[in-house]
Structure 1
């Protein structure tokens, strides 16, 4: 058995009838494999069966502790591939908007907690002689990096599947009864207390950097008080900048309804901007998102005068923690230059904002998000987390941030799944109360594959935001040409 950390448990605790913590990959594939045969459900199931021993999160089943006296545990259980791996065909034209609509609905469905928390769907009926595989995982088991590790285990670098060393018959764990789980939970209470004591100083002295609660009343005061009364506590050099997010239409309590927009940007053009401005790929990506948001909100007459704030996830996983799965993640809050009309200035501004955010993130405890969660006793954890999210999305308060932007690097070489060539790999992420807009980017080959996940009630026009991203890149490239001509 493996006890969930408080950060892992957070993603279970926040789920309700409106919120799910599913993270997915939508892999677009050639329908025919290298051997000339079509990709079938049988081939996909065989792939999962062959590599299941290398993929612990696909075997983990969550087991709750009675009365919530401890966080749940993972049990390495049995896997029924007939349940987890399914197929269906799209109705309609089979284009990307049709695919996105179906995937958004599937990704928003909660998963059966009596089974390991993953699903895979082979989707037929796509135009252009393509198929798709939607791999749906739960955020309690994986973060962005560990989710990528699962995907890389399933994919190959050539049409021929690499040799996988077979293993002896796996011994599954039986699920303990309620009394057994209660006794295990009670035995864990002293460790919980020690974890809370150990987390108190680093968490309280940096509480205003915890993205989910930073906008709540009194957080800054608690942080300042803890810093003054803690030996070796946090110190700040220079004036402290309090970032306040303006309110937008998509910063409210979410509904159960989801929409997804898929868009691709050419990586060579992004790299061209990177070199021209002396920036990083991430600087350019964030600047493109800022420009697209500015254009989109302006067209709706909803652009705030103040800069929007982006919540940017950051992996804090060390090399020794690779292949351990679970969540090792922090967040940065980054101002977006949505108030800046000049596109070139937007890239420079993002460069400065991200550098400052990285410096602040480096100065805080590596596992700050988990340490903040460790302060809450498990018996109060679920209600406390849901209450925090409700408060953070209240119309009375400013949101913690306006939008989630995540940029995940991927392979630059061709990938294959069961012999079928991967054409694109779109991330499908999650949204939460107060932030009904998530832009996640995944680089593959010479493209940035982007999934824009939204609450369709609050953001009914995510396709226009996707087009604004394409237009923003075109605008930035056009501005490079006169500058290059002047240098000549």
Structure 2
């Protein structure tokens, strides 16, 4: 049995009827049309052949009684692949309908009595293709771990001679009784008390570093504390329904634009979203003129990490919306992301995030449910305005059960108070932006996609003329 980290415990208990903390992804393959029974069988066989190499895919979560301590991963004695890989729409559909179905799929919470993942098989996509739509709970996966899952589940050629990853070993089901969990909780409590002095020292050190870093006027303008964001039409209490959309750009196009603007592709992505938000929110009667705030996930993975838990932290950066000159705004956003990276290197955020294990899960669960029931974020300001994340995927083509993966469309979760997210993944020469909107706050997410396309053209016109 493996205890969840404090961060993963937070993801597990913050999950509520309005805030589904799972990650979605659409995988489109170049495959001939075959009966659904054969496609399902091939998908299940590939997963079962590799499942031993993917953390927690055959494990469920055992909770400590009354939510008094971090829960544990335990082998699922009743694991059945049929509960996790299911047929979707059997009719032939196009890409737009596929993304629409993905939005409906990620609107449904995962069953916490089972391993926290599910795949929908759509056998008849246009152009003789098929698709898998997956959702995995954030307790299982972050961006870096997602790439590791792809590496273990996929191959680098259509007909590999053998799976190059870890070999399968016999795994016995674990019986988790009340007495075991109480004993585990008691030992965990002792460990926490023993680590209080050292953790207190680290907390004071991290806060001191933050105060020192933000005492600089530039840094305090570029990096924002939690709940410093203005309230906009896309911020409020979440519903349970999600709407999805995606946009694809040739990666070379974005790289050329980033080079012309003298910024990184990630900085460019932040700038594109900033300008797109101006246009999109104007259509919702937002006056603008103030800086919006994006949550920027930061990977904490180290060479000695053993995997199996999230290794991320987050900083909150200004999107420079008060700056009207496009070139100046792009520079300002690049400075903001640079400041975030400098602080991330300077402060041991991984250690600070680890302190979340002191937060009682019962408190996290109750806070999330009360906020949802009272629709608290309809009345108070948002933690941040939008979530923007990006992950670099493999450059070479991948294959699944002999079929080539053509496209990856990522969909990130929404945090309560924030009704819009942008998740970007590069793969095989393309950059795909997956957009998720809350049905009430950003149900017209397609318009936001149009605004992103317009923002790219705007920046191209500006920097090509420079």
TM-score (norm 2): 0.90
Distance 1:85 1:142, change over 3 A: same
Q: 240, 248, 254: which is aligned to 2:238?
A: 254
Q: 250, 255, 272: which is aligned to 1:266?
A: 250
Tell me the distance in 2 between the aligned counterparts of 1:38 and 1:177. Answer: 38
Aligned match of 1:5:
5
Distance 1:197 1:25, change over 3 A: farther
Unaligned ranges ≥5, structure 2: none
1:339 aligns with 2:322: yes
Aligned match of 1:456:
439
1:125 aligns with 2:124: yes
Aligned match of 2:216:
238
Moved over 4 A (4+): 165-169, 384-393
1:323-334 to structure 2, matched below 5 A, reads 324-334=307-317
Aligned match of 1:19:
19
Aligned match of 1:153:
152
1:69, 1:186 within 8 Å by CA — same for their partners in 2?
A: no
1:107, 1:136 within 8 Å by CA — same for their partners in 2?
A: yes
Shift of 1:325: 2.3
Aligned match of 1:136:
135
Tell me the distance in 1 between the aligned counterparts of 2:292 and 2:363. Answer: 33
Distance 1:136 1:196, change over 3 A: farther
Aligned match of 1:62:
61
Query: What SS does the aligned partner of 1:89 have?
Result: coil
Tell me the distance in 1 between the aligned counterparts of 2:371 and 2:352. Answer: 14
Aligned match of 1:216:
none
2:88, 2:120 within 8 Å by CA — same for their partners in 1?
A: yes
1:186 aligns with 2:186: yes
Tell me the distance in 2 between the aligned counterparts of 1:253 and 1:388. Answer: 8
1:262, 1:466 within 8 Å by CA — same for their partners in 2?
A: yes
Instruction: Give CA-to-partner distance per residue, 1:281-329, whole Å, 9 cap, x none.
Output: 11111111111111211233214221110001111010221x5121110
Shift of 1:162: 4.8
1:69, 1:182 within 8 Å by CA — same for their partners in 2?
A: no
Aligned match of 1:371:
354
Distance 1:90 1:97, change over 3 A: farther
Tell me the distance in 1 between the aligned counterparts of 2:373 and 2:343. Answer: 27
Shift of 1:138: 0.9
Unaligned ranges ≥5, structure 1: 207-222, 484-488
Tell me the distance in 2 between the aligned counterparts of 1:390 and 1:365. Answer: 36
Distance 1:456 1:233, change over 3 A: closer
Greater shift in the superposed pair: 404-413 or 365-374? 365-374
Aligned match of 1:351:
334
Tell me the distance in 1 between the aligned counterparts of 2:248 and 2:27. Answer: 13
Aligned match of 1:213:
none
CA RMSD of superposed structures (Å): 2.7
1:109 aligns with 2:93: no
Tell me the distance in 2 between the aligned counterparts of 1:205 and 1:284. Answer: 33
Shift of 1:426: 0.7
Distance 1:461 1:179, change over 3 A: same
Distance 1:279 1:68, change over 3 A: same
Distance 1:305 1:399, change over 3 A: same
1:277 aligns with 2:277: no
TM-score (norm 1): 0.86
Query: What SS does the aligned partner of 2:304 have?
Result: helix
Aligned match of 1:433:
416
Shift of 1:411: 1.0
1:299 aligns with 2:283: yes
Tell me the distance in 2 between the aligned counterparts of 1:157 and 1:372. Answer: 39
Tell me the distance in 2 between the aligned counterparts of 1:247 and 1:204. Answer: 31
